[in-house]
Amino acid sequence: MTDRAFLVQLEGYGLTTAEICYAMPDYPALLQIFAWQEYDAAPDFPVLFDFLDHWRREIDAEIRAVRIAHEGMIRPATWRSADGVISWE
């Protein structure tokens, strides 16, 4: 059985991480952060925007900011040696 994450990467999706900064109506001055991660297609991010639309409709919290990081390419792992210590990138 093939991993779902690998299959969606073959279809052009990449791992997307969003940092959602929001405030609850009871404490508007207190900002909180929610981390969201899923495979999505850049630059349109349909999965993320579906989630954000759901948030705006169903969750009683105001989104103040969203930061997005996206890793889009499948590539082999690389390694390098620095002073005899191997580190993975």
For the chain, give the number of residues: 89
The rounded distance, in Å, linking the Cα atoms of 12 and 16 is: 12
- pLDDT at 79 > cutoff 70: no
- pLDDT at 74 > cutoff 70: no
For residue 33, give the 3-state DSSP assignment.
strand
- Summarised one tens digit per residue, pLDDT across range 15-59 is 999 999 999 999 999 999 999 999 999 889 999 999 999 999 999
Phi/psi at 37 (5° precision): -145, 130
Domains held by the chain: number: 1
Domain that holds residue 21: 4-88
For residue 11, give the 3-state DSSP assignment.
coil
- pLDDT at 88 > cutoff 60: no
**pTM for the full predicted model:** 0.74
- pLDDT at 82 > cutoff 80: no
